């Protein structure tokens, strides 16, 4: 049995050679509303706001820039003694390449969190997201082979490209599930899965592809797991992993962050690995209801010669609100801490 498990793990790791189609964040644990709608609704306080910025491959002429903002809240009707709802939304924008390809998405999210005992030792959350996605490109800054005049590219010459449109918008749908088990208040295991682009919307600036077929955005299947272990009031660790599959591509990130609590501040240092592609050191600080984290991707893939080893710089900011009252969380019903995760 153990050998079968090792073989399955090896096969999964070997399959993760391609790059993901969707935009990605190295700090996936700080943008989980983007990954899984079942995580909608903060379990530390009543309200939560977050922002994330990523600048990838700064060494090339046109780096990839991704921006993400989210807000969510918890709603717990009095009639529901141990269960609660989560509501929220997010907006992100991604800009890439010399053609200024932009991808903007806005989604509304909802979740239902069900506890199976009075202490919420085991709980399950279901989430759904619905929104609009817009893609646009600036064809005027692009050059094509028909514009080569024998010596250089001449933008005054005709492009001879049959663009059907340079901007389009489509409906997008995501869904997810999350299971949470608390061995105690200090040891918590969480695992989830989600489906993105369930409706597989059409994506094409042309009426048809060059093969005469429609191009559709593939459904992304995502799995994630994390474990929180508090050894004492000062030190705790949080290892995690996330894996996604989309149209024959695969992305796997795994690692851990170690936290040290000093009075009213917490410092976190982590090391993560995007399988076969990046080494990702992280540093973060949490103070009262505010948390900030920075990370940097060190490229170790075959692209490292083209990028000079440069990967992506990323920063995330998180703020919790209304933490002075009791909230229902995935680890029990108790007073919210004065700031994120610190009691």
Q: What is the largest CA-CA distance in the chain?
A: 77
Domain range annotation of the chain: 2-335
SS3 breakdown of the chain: % helix, strand, coil, rounded to 5? 10, 55, 35
Per-residue pLDDT of the chain (343 residues; tens, 9 = 90+): 444 433 444 444 444 554 545 778 999 999 989 999 999 987 668 899 999 999 987 666 677 899 999 999 998 888 877 888 999 999 999 988 777 889 999 999 999 999 887 777 899 999 999 999 999 988 777 777 777 777 777 777 777 777 778 889 999 999 999 999 998 878 999 999 999 999 999 888 776 555 556 788 899 999 999 999 999 889 999 999 999 999 888 999 999 999 999 888 999 999 999 998 899 999 999 998 899 999 999 988 776 666 666 678 999 999 988 875 555 555 544 433 333 333 3
Q: What is the pLDDT of residue 204?
A: 81
CA–CA distance, 43 with 120 (Å, rounded to integer):
12
β-bridge partners, 189: 181, 227
CA–CA distance, 245 with 274 (Å, rounded to integer):
14
- CATH superfamily, region 2-335: monomeric porin ompg (2.40.160.40)
Structure tokens at 224: 């994630």
| Element of type H or E holding 9 | helix 2-15
CB 284 within 8 A of CB 29: no
Q: What is each CA distance from 148 to 139, 143, 159, in whole angstroms?
A: 16, 9, 10
Q: What is the pLDDT of residue 10?
A: 45
Q: What is the pLDDT of residue 300?
A: 87
Tell me the CB-side half-sphere exposure of residue 141, using CA atoms within 13 A. Answer: 9
Q: What is the pLDDT of residue 22?
A: 73
Structure tokens at 333: 């019903």
- The pTM for the full model equals 0.84
Q: What is the pLDDT of residue 5?
A: 38
Q: Which of 47, 52, 94, 85 is nearest to 69 (CA)?
A: 52
R_g over Cα of the chain: 22
Q: What is the pLDDT of residue 60?
A: 63
Give the three-class secondary structure for 32.
helix
């Amino acid at each position: 049995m153990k050998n079968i498990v090792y073989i399955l793990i090896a096969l999964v790791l070997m399959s993760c050679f391609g790059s993901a189609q969707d935009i990605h964040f190295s700090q996936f644990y700080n943008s989980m509303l983007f990954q899984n709608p079942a995580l909608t609704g903060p379990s530390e306080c009543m309200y939560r706001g977050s922002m994330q910025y990523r600048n990838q491959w700064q060494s090339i002429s046109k780096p990839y820039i991704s921006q993400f903002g989210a807000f969510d809240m918890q709603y717990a009707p009095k009639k529901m003694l141990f269960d609660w709802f989560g509501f929220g939304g997010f907006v992100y924008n991604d800009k890439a390449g010399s053609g200024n390809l932009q991808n903007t998405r806005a989604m509304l999210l909802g979740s239902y969190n069900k506890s199976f005992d009075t202490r919420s030792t085991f709980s399950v959350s279901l989430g759904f997201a619905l929104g609009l996605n817009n893609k646009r490109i600036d064809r005027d800054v692009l050059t094509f082979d028909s514009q080569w005049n024998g010596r250089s590219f001449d933008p005054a010459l005709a492009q001879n490209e049959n663009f059907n449109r340079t901007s389009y918008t489509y409906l997008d749908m995501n869904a997810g599930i999350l299971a949470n088990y608390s061995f105690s208040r200090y040891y918590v295991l969480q695992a989830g899965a989600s489906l993105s682009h369930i409706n597989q919307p059409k994506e094409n600036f042309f009426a048809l592809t060059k093969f005469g077929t429609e191009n559709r955005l593939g459904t992304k299947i995502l799995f994630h797991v994390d474990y929180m272990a508090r050894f004492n009031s000062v030190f705790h660790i949080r290892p995690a992993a996330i894996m996604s599959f989309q149209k024959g591509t695969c992305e796997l990130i795994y690692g851990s962050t170690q936290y040290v609590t000093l009075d009213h501040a917490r410092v976190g240092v982590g090391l993560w690995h995007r399988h076969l592609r990046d080494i990702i050191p992280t540093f973060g600080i949490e103070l009262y209801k505010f948390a900030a984290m920075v990370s940097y991707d060190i490229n170790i893939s075959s692209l490292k010669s083209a990028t000079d080893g440069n990967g992506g710089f990323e920063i995330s900011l998180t703020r919790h609100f209304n933490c002075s009252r009791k909230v229902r969380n995935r680890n029990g019903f108790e007073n919210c801490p004065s700031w994120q995760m610190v009691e």
